[in-house]
Structure 1
Amino acid sequence: MNKIILGCLGVTLLLSSCVSQKKYADLEAKSKETQDLLNSATVKLNTCLEEKASASSRLKTLEDQNAFLKSNNQELINNMGNLTTLSSKGAQNLEKSLESLQEKDLTIRKLNDAITRRDSVNLSLVQSLKGVLGNLDDEDIQISVEKGVVFVSISDKLLFSSGSYNVTNRAKEVLGKVAKVVNNKPDFDFMVEGHTDDVPYNGGILLDNWDLSAKRATAIVRILQNDYNVDPKRMTAAARSSYVPVSTTDKAKNRRTRIVVLPKIDQFYEMIEEGMKDPAINK
């Protein structure tokens, strides 16, 4: 009997032990599953948190960019307004510049026209002088134009004896021809320049080459005035002594009288004014 009871108890304990182990295994499996789910949820939570942080950062960046663009847009709008003002002023300045250039171009054209007219008159003067003096030796008399001024250079051997300021008869013939031309050109004034070489003057009557060149210039001027009726208001007598030589080797070339034919300044300005009235220029 006792053996039966003990056997029943053993079976009972064995069955009870088997049931407990099965439940434990089930519970353990469920625990592991729950732990896996928890781990998975934790990973997903961390991922969401990271994505949220990244999204927040991007949002902040976009907000900053949006604020910058709004500010920049306003600045652009302001600049457009300024550019409109500047464009208007620029157009006005450009228009004024064009007007100024047109005025300068017109002035240049008028001046060129006046210079052309002056050169034409000078050419006519040179041709007239060469026409009346053309039979003379080129070494004794030379006619040239430099920078709009006509020069007539006459060797002193035609005009004076050595060291003298008394005009020779041959010189009066030459001066008469020059006077005929200048009397026909009332738009010009002229200057008579006396030039000497650098040999010191030893005549005794005059002080030096300054005196000699001055006396020769005034002697020519007096003959043109007294013998050939040249208006004295048109003439100037000038002494240059030996300080404007034309040759360093031939002293004879430096002993000369030079007539410088000068256009009257008021006449030249009249040429300019006439040019301004020319319809061809004012187109």
Structure 2
Amino acid sequence: MKKNLFVVALMAGALLLSGCASKKELQNCQTENAQLTSDYNTAKTTIAANNERIKSLEEQLAAAKSHADALQSSLDKSLSNAGSSNVNIEKLVDQINESNQYIRHLVEVKSKSDSLNLVLTNNLTRSLSKDEMKEVNVQVLKGVVYISLADNMLFKTASYEVNDRAKETLSKIAKIINDYKDYEVLVEGNTDNVPVNSDAPSMKNIRNNWDLSALRASSVVQYLQNNFGVDPKRMTAGGRGEYNPLVSNDTEIGKQRNRRTQIIITPKLDQFMDLIDKAPEEK
């Protein structure tokens, strides 16, 4: 009997001990579960916060990428426009350089022409005497040499025939013309507005001042050719009558100034145009 009670007591103790152990484990489990739950919630909160942060960073990255793409597009466009502008600018610069080069060429041609005209004029004026200079006017106008001679030193009274007095002066002019073979010569007759006296023997068959001015120019051309060997191919005779006056014909002095013959010496037009049209050499 005692033995049976002992066994029962042991079993009861074992059960009691077993119950106590289960309760402690339960408490431990509950404590651990509470900690895990807390950790989970914390982690969940952290993850949520991180997700929000990541989302914010992704949005910022997307905005930055969009801005970068816009900048790149703008840069590409700018570079494209700049390239086009550079091409246009280069073309413009080339055109300006060509234009400047051509202008320099024209200036050189003009300077050469002006220099030759100056030498020609100086040579002629130095060869003329003081008395001749009173009746001969030499000047350069617009790149052309004008030699103006009074009619009373060239022609006989009321005539288109060259007088003996003009021989010395015309010989000096002829020498200059022969020395400058690249020049052409236009001899131009001019009169005052007084009608021609057709009754005078020397004016027979002369209808008006047109005829008189043309015949006087022709007489000078032939005189230069026949007496001084000036090439007739280089010369042209023309008359302008009374229609190219220097001054008014209202006075005798004015009429005297208008009665003149001009010997116009100019570079040959075709050679001068060749100089102008010639492409400047690259420098």
What TM-score, normalized by structure 2, do the two folds share? 0.68
Tell me the residue number matched to 1:252. 256
Query: Does the CA-based 8 Å contact 1:163-1:203 persist in structure 2?
Result: no
Tell me the residue number matched to 1:43. none
| Deviation digits for residues 161-212 of structure 1 (CA, Å, limit 9, x no counterpart) | 3321011001122111111111011010010000000111122421000000
Structure 1 segments unaligned to the other structure (5+ residues) = 1-68
In structure 2, do the counterparts of structure 1 residues 85 and 137 end up closer, same or farther at CA, with 3 Å as the change threshold?
A: same
C-alpha displacement at 1:95, in angstroms? 0.8
Query: Does the CA-based 8 Å contact 1:193-1:240 persist in structure 2?
Result: yes
Q: Secondary structure of the residue that 2:87 maps to in structure 1?
A: helix
| Deviation digits for residues 42-66 of structure 1 (CA, Å, limit 9, x no counterpart) | xxxxxxxxxxxxxxxxxxxxxxxxx
In structure 2, do the counterparts of structure 1 residues 175 and 73 end up closer, same or farther at CA, with 3 Å as the change threshold?
A: same
| Deviation digits for residues 217-237 of structure 1 (CA, Å, limit 9, x no counterpart) | 000001111111100110010
> Which one of 57, 82, 98 corresponds to residue 103 of structure 1?
98
Provide the C-alpha distance between the structure 2 equivalents of 1:162 and 1:79, rounded to a whole number of angstroms: 90
Query: Does the CA-based 8 Å contact 2:132-2:169 persist in structure 1?
Result: no
Provide the C-alpha distance between the structure 2 equivalents of 1:155 and 1:80, rounded to a whole number of angstroms: 78
The count of residues paired between Structure 1 and Structure 2 equals: 214
Tell me the residue number matched to 1:4. none
Query: Does the CA-based 8 Å contact 1:192-1:259 persist in structure 2?
Result: yes
Q: CA RMSD in A?
A: 2.7
Tell me the residue number matched to 2:170. 175
What TM-score, normalized by structure 1, do the two folds share? 0.68
Provide the C-alpha distance between the structure 2 equivalents of 1:75 and 1:157, rounded to a whole number of angstroms: 90
Query: Does the CA-based 8 Å contact 2:186-2:264 persist in structure 1?
Result: yes
Moved more, 251-260 or 93-102: 93-102
Residue 259 of structure 2 aligns with an amino acid whose one-letter code is: R
Provide the C-alpha distance between the structure 2 equivalents of 1:137 and 1:178, rounded to a whole number of angstroms: 12
Tell me the residue number matched to 2:88. 93
Tell me the residue number matched to 1:225. 225
Aligned sequence identity (%): 40
| Deviation digits for residues 11-65 of structure 1 (CA, Å, limit 9, x no counterpart) | xxxxxxxxxxxxxxxxxxxxxxxxxxxxxxxxxxxxxxxxxxxxxxxxxxxxxxx
Query: Does the CA-based 8 Å contact 1:113-1:275 persist in structure 2?
Result: no
Query: Does the CA-based 8 Å contact 1:191-1:235 persist in structure 2?
Result: yes
Provide the C-alpha distance between the structure 2 equivalents of 1:85 and 1:191, rounded to a whole number of angstroms: 61
In structure 2, do the counterparts of structure 1 residues 163 and 73 end up closer, same or farther at CA, with 3 Å as the change threshold?
A: farther
Tell me the residue number matched to 1:210. 210
